[in-house]
Structure 1
Amino acid sequence: MRIFLTGASGRVGSRTLPRLNAYGHQVHALVRDPAQADGVRAAGGHPVVGDLLDPDSYRAALEGSDAVVHLAAVVREPEAERVHRANHEATLLLGRAALDAGIGRFVFASTTLVYPGGLGRPATEDTPPDPQPEWGAYPVSKAAAERALLELHPGVRVLRLAFVYGEGDPHLAESLTWASHWPSHKRLHTVHHTDVAQAVLRALHAPGIDGRTYNVADESPVTAWELHALNGVPFPEGSPDPADPWHGISDTTRIRAELGFRPLYPSVWSAREAGAL
């Protein structure tokens, strides 16, 4: 299968690209900076220099592709408008260009941060998105992109990723910037890079799932106390006010039942034991 991949130089995309290549796919990967092209080649991909906000810069590379895997995103950016343009507007431009090129499958990486708090239960894919203000513009832009993309492209498959970690990604250590303010029992749902790639491959190949959305997460959310222990940092003295123990926890029944997804690393502890952190 010929795949057009975005986000190849990012934390998720750089780890997904070699796995797509290893599976036998021909991957044409979009990068903004020509200096990133060598990294794409080293991972087995074919670099395409362009800008998601300028479809003419990558339109030729879309021709002949069988699927789009859209992993590019802006997460940490003080300007909400830039986040919106990168995650919402650019996604729609890519969706329209993919339609023009006759591409039938479009895998879109979103986030479980689109779910509201206060549910008193894990969030399912049928839970209406309503991002919490504390997470800023990123999940708001992703929720908007989901809605618009599902209306635009009939072949969209949405993957809502939990907190991604592993393989040298500093994300787990960065979690302490906000987990240090949580109650010790508050949990974070995680998913290893290996299992993100597994979910992408399953969503790419499964028939009859156009328009479906899937939560992608492991089997054992970690508490704020455990996040500190994993990073070798003592948990701060005192405890904030109690929080909803289900906020941020998502139900993975659908992806397990329909796509056969099983986390290769069901918890961060198993990933640590395997030396995969």
Structure 2
Amino acid sequence: MKVFVTGATGFVGSAIVQELLGAGHQVLGLARSEAAADKLLAAGATVHRGDLEDLDSLRSGATAADGVIHAGFIHDFSRFKEVCEVDRLAIGAIGEALAGSEKPFIVTSGTALVSPGRLATEDIIQQPNPAFPRASEAAADAAAALGVKTSIIRLSPSVHGNGDLHGFVPILINIARQKGVSAYVGNGLNRWNAVHRLDAVHLYRLALENGGKGSRFHAAAEEGVTFKAIAEAIAKQLNIPSVSVSPEEAVEYFGWFAGFAAIDCPASSKLTQEWLNWHPTQPTLLADLEQGVYNNI
């Protein structure tokens, strides 16, 4: 299968490319720069020039392929509402190009806001949240309504592993290094689900090959790791104290990240594992921290 991949040179996307190539697929990777194109060529992929805001390039890439994995997203929190709209339009353009075909279309979302405070499961439809305007799932459902064979991969808030330089764990490490302490909010018992990058990209391939229209899959190898345990592991690696902060102090300590630091978002992947025979095998989040994977952040 020739697969068009957006975000093909990112932390998750580059591993998706390797997973697909290793399974005998061809990859057409979206590249907006010469550096990205060179990286894709070195990996063994074919280059498709364009970017997430060039809707014509997305349509032509989707048309030229047998399936699409949309793993691209502009991680610019200073203009979050704007980049969420870019994502929605990108998914819509790809969906339009695939309408009337049997080509699979895999869209990336997240588990964190599916059902905060209780266990998120694959059958829960995420409700709109004005405070978090990312509309990936609604756009994917709109594509499915056009007859597109659309599946959604919900990634954990921590997709960890070698090469993770800009994810949530590196953000926490940088804050802790700057503040001189590694903090958690209150008792720190709020939970994040987590997945290793290599387990996550294996799920992308399984969804591409076996997913059904409208399916939602959870890339969550661990249902819930307490934020306190994460903060303590970071403190140990940095040789600094781990401390509790109040919700009011959390805003000063974490800044814009305070909401994510306090969220309780356990998530199950029981149905995903049953449906796709997906069984995570890679190290846990705490194991990666303890083994020094993040020591170069």
Range into which the TM-score falls when normalised by the shorter chain: 0.7 to 0.9
Structure 2 match to 1:144: 138
Q: 1:218 & 1:131 partners in 2: Cα distance? A: 25
Structure 2 match to 1:85: 85
Structure 1 match to 2:242: 235
User: Paired residue for 1:249, among 251, 266, 277?
Assistant: 266
1:202 paired with 2:206, answer yes
Q: 1:188 & 1:248 partners in 2: Cα distance? A: 5
Q: Tell me the alpha carbon deviations over residues 55-95 of structure 1, each in whole angstroms, 9 at most, x when there is no partner.
A: 33354443452111110112333224422322111111111
Superposition pairs of residues 1-277 of structure 1, within 5 angstroms: 1-99=1-99, 102=101, 104-118=103-117, 121-130=118-127, 136-137=132-133, 140-163=134-157, 164-170=159-165, 171=167, 172-175=169-172, 177=175, 180-183=183-186, 184-206=188-210, 209-219=212-222, 221-231=224-234, 232=237, 233-238=240-245, 240=247, 247-265=264-282, 267-271=284-288
**Residue 55 of structure 1 contacts residue 97 of structure 1 at CA under 8 Å; is this kept in 2?**
no
Question: Structure 1 counterpart of 2:109, which letter?
Answer: S
Question: Structure 1 counterpart of 2:224, which letter?
Answer: P
1:274/1:175 CA distance change after superposition, 3 Å: closer
Unaligned runs of 5+ in 2: 177-181, 249-258
Structure 1 match to 2:254: none
The residue matched to 2:229 in structure 1 has which SS?
Answer: helix
Q: What is the RMSD of the two structures over their aligned residues, measured on CA atoms?
A: 2.9
1:173/1:226 CA distance change after superposition, 3 Å: farther
Q: 2:272 & 2:54 partners in 1: Cα distance? A: 33
1:126 Cα shift? 2.2
Instruction: Identify the structure with the greater helix proportion.
Output: 2
1:270 Cα shift? 4.2
Tell me whether 177-186 or 223-232 shows the greater mean CA deviation.
Answer: 177-186
Q: 1:266 & 1:50 partners in 2: Cα distance? A: 35
1:168 Cα shift? 2.2
Question: Structure 2 counterpart of 1:192, which letter?
Answer: H
TM (norm. structure 1) is 0.84
Q: 1:249 & 1:132 partners in 2: Cα distance? A: 18
Q: 1:262 & 1:274 partners in 2: Cα distance? A: 22
1:266 Cα shift? 5.8
**Residue 181 of structure 1 contacts residue 240 of structure 1 at CA under 8 Å; is this kept in 2?**
no
**Residue 111 of structure 2 contacts residue 265 of structure 2 at CA under 8 Å; is this kept in 1?**
yes
Unaligned runs of 5+ in 1: none
Tell me whether 219-228 or 157-166 shows the greater mean CA deviation.
Answer: 219-228
Q: Tell me the alpha carbon deviations over residues 189-229 of structure 1, each in whole angstroms, 9 at most, x when there is no partner.
A: 1111101111011111116x222111110135322222123
Question: Structure 2 counterpart of 1:148, which letter?
Answer: A
Question: Structure 2 counterpart of 1:15, which letter?
Answer: A
**Residue 31 of structure 2 contacts residue 51 of structure 2 at CA under 8 Å; is this kept in 1?**
yes
Q: 2:183 & 2:224 partners in 1: Cα distance? A: 16
